[in-house]
Amino acid sequence: MSLCLYGKHSMQNDLLLNYTPTEMQAFVEASGQPRYRTKQLLEWLYRSKVVSYDEMTNLPKAWREELARKADVNPFPSFSVQESSDSTRKYLFTLRDGQAIESVCIPMKEHFTLCLSTQVGCALECAFCLTGKQGFTRNLQAGEIIGQILAVQRDTAASDTKISNIVLMGMGEPLLNYDQTVKAIRMMLAEEGLHVSNRKITLSTAGIVPGMHKLGQEGFIINLAVSLNAPTDDLRSQLMPINKTYPLQELLQACREYPLPERRRITFEYILLDRINDTPEHASTVADILQGIRCKINLIPLNPTSETPYRPSSEATVLAFQEILLQRGYSTFLRASKGADISAACGQLSGKYRSEID
């Protein structure tokens, strides 16, 4: 595990990474600087990925000092990295108020997929998820969301492999931190920002129906993943209490209405829990309820945590479940879980290294 520390911090200042290009322009103008300074600032942040004003060498020193009193460059005073046996890297970022979040960088065949957090903790209390056990602390600011990408890019810059997919699937429910999440997505897409393609970004939700509708109207269409996990309201409400507020029928209607372009599909994630949601009947009911939705299904083996009572389904059960969905015409994948040995897999993020609290 490696550790990296930067200078003093507090949450009193704003973050430069919280500003859209338009807001950055206003910020630059308010301090009496010419317009081209906006471009310089954005380039330092998003191209050079600097973490301090000292590095912004083409800006006047006096102005840098003035900026430093108003806005911070680096959202993370410190971070540490743990690498698992399958090369998954888990980052623990300390925020300026001392809270902590995790991001996971997952090696795929030719690129990295980066899994980002959107909240400190989570309010949804899904029965199988460790983040849910710690409760909700606060929403992340847009700059704390986008900052996770920049920090990991900086850390992996020497590697030939590049981050190409971004998934909002870490700690928290992105659609319950709607405004800051959407702002961060805009900076991922923006030409002056990270300039990532909308097809490379996936937001995963437990099913916040109003947020799903709103997201479809933002003027950009990113991929949507929905954590389904059960095919009936009774069972889903037991596993995911949010289902009592937004039951399956409403959730699936919101999926149907999400304006994905023709060739793209909604992803349904389904964690298989031994003897809870993994029978052939469950599989057929999943097939029934998803009828008519252009989708693919990712079956995820449960990552057990000591704080939840569930066990993963056996391999034979998983394969039988998959077979039923394939027979019914659904593209169904078994999603290999990576990073479990360092608690970096889905549902294991806690903002604390297990070795430190076990």
**What positions carry a catalytic annotation?**
102, 346
| Nearest residue (beta carbon) to ligand SAH | 347
Count Cα atoms within 13 angstroms, Cβ side, for 176. Answer: 20
Q: How far is the CB of 94 from ligand SAH (least distance, A)?
A: 21
State how far the Cα of 171 lies from the Cα of 188, in Å rounded to an integer.
19
| Nearest residue to 222 (alpha-carbon basis) of 158, 167, 285 | 167
Q: How far is the CB of 112 from ligand SAH (least distance, A)?
A: 18
Q: Per the structure block, which two tokens stand in for 306? A: 């000591």
Q: How far is the CB of 8 from ligand SAH (least distance, A)?
A: 32
SS3 for 71? strand
Q: Per the structure block, which two tokens stand in for 265? A: 């599909």
First-to-last C-alpha distance (Å) of the chain: 17
**Pick 305 or 322: Cβ nearer ligand SAH:** 305
Q: How far is the CB of 236 from ligand SAH (least distance, A)?
A: 11
Nearest-5° Cα angle at 276, 311 to 235: 130
Residue pair 83/188 in contact (Cβ under 8 Å)? The answer is: no
Q: How far is the CB of 28 from ligand SAH (least distance, A)?
A: 35
**Pick 73 or 115: Cβ nearer ligand SAH:** 115
State how far the Cα of 302 lies from the Cα of 272, in Å rounded to an integer.
6
Residues of this chain that interact with ligand SAH (CB under 6 A) are 128-129, 169, 173, 204-206, 227, 229, 269, 271, 300, 302-303, 305, 346-347
SS3 for 107? strand
Give 3-state DSSP helix, strand, coil % of the chain, rounded to 5: 35, 20, 40
> Maximum Cα–Cα distance for the chain, whole Å?
69
For 294-319, b/e burial (b = at least 16 CB within 10 A) is: ebebbbbbbbbbeebebebbeeebbe
State how far the Cα of 38 lies from the Cα of 40, in Å rounded to an integer.
5
SS3 for 124? coil
CA 51 and chain centroid, separation: 22
Q: How far is the CB of 330 from ligand SAH (least distance, A)?
A: 17
State how far the Cα of 314 lies from the Cα of 227, in Å rounded to an integer.
21
Residue pair 170/349 in contact (Cβ under 8 Å)? The answer is: yes
Question: How many other CB atoms are found less than 10 A from the CB of residue 7?
Answer: 9
Q: How far is the CB of 335 from ligand SAH (least distance, A)?
A: 9
**Pick 105 or 206: Cβ nearer ligand SAH:** 206
